[in-house]
Amino acid sequence: MDLWQVPLLFSRLPMFPFFDLAHYVASVVALKEQRGAVEVSVRSPFACWFSAMLYCFGGSLLSSLMLAEPPVSFLAKSANILLASSVWYLVFYCPQDIFCRCFSFLPLRLLVAGMKEVTRTWKIASGVAHADSHFKDAWLVMVAVGWARGAGGGLISNFEQLVRGVWKPETNELLKMSYPVKITLIGAVLFTLQHSQYLPIARHNLVFLYTIFLVIFKVKMMLTRCATSPLAPLEAALGHVLFGLRKAPSKVKGESATSSNRSSICDRPSEQHHDGVKKRQAKKTE
């Protein structure tokens, strides 16, 4: 097998069941680390389950709403729903919290995070292709659907929180983008450019390179526990030139007129913020 065939074979990997399993585990554990999620799981298991499904399948839901397809179509994939539901049950209701304790083993977390990024790339690519089948040559629609598929769970966070009884209208993922949502948007733009043949690279190569980029930075951010995105300097420069965004000194993590990723990651428990919150939650559930 030649080395140049690796991207091609990589792009043909099936997502189900292992990569999808990793995606569900990472998503549901991120849900568990949200403030108040464990109480919701005690008070109303159904609301907790629905929240978990929104985390796992939010992307499909949002993209089907955008394209006027039935929003419940994600429920038609029964095997995936059963797998996600089993993961949800194990994460929230396993005796002695065995599942979460096993999962707190760092190499395992890194592996799962890496596999989740693979599914993200795959979803962006399939979203862009799906949008193209509906609307020929519609760049914005391709970017929007690819973005929704890849980052759906994050984008609908206001409404997912509403299921758990939390309503925070003063902020949303569009006003203050977290790192995964931002990186998915960039990926959607890249894949749209490649699909419209403005980017002279083969699809499987782009899938491979983009996934490697995502995995490396995700693992680096988890290992170093550093929340600043790798794109921050580029963003600050572009933002200053195009939009007059001023670079504020990083003294206080309040609202600042700077590139929003820094403050958003510091302020809200996003999925990178596992470690600090996790221990608190783990103690709480014992």
Cβ closest to another protein, residue 11 vs residue 260: 260
Cα–Cα dist 71/75, whole Å: 9
Q: Burial of 101 by CB count in 10 Å (0-12 exposed, 13-18 middle, 19+ buried)?
A: exposed
The token pair that represents 137 in the structure block: 């040559």
Cβ closest to another protein, residue 119 vs residue 259: 259
Q: Least CB distance from residue 133 to another protein, whole Å?
A: 12
Q: Cα separations (Å) of 20 from 85, 170, 207, 267?
A: 12, 33, 17, 29
Cβ closest to another protein, residue 104 vs residue 172: 172
Cα–Cα dist 281/200, whole Å: 47
Q: Least CB distance from residue 76 to another protein, whole Å?
A: 19
Q: Least CB distance from residue 257 to another protein, whole Å?
A: 6
State the residues that interact with another protein by CB under 8 A: 65-68, 134-141, 144-145, 158, 167, 169-172, 174-177, 239, 242-246, 255, 257, 260
Cβ closest to another protein, residue 93 vs residue 135: 135
Q: Least CB distance from residue 264 to another protein, whole Å?
A: 10
Q: What is the CA radius of gyration of the chain?
A: 19
Cα–Cα dist 113/219, whole Å: 7
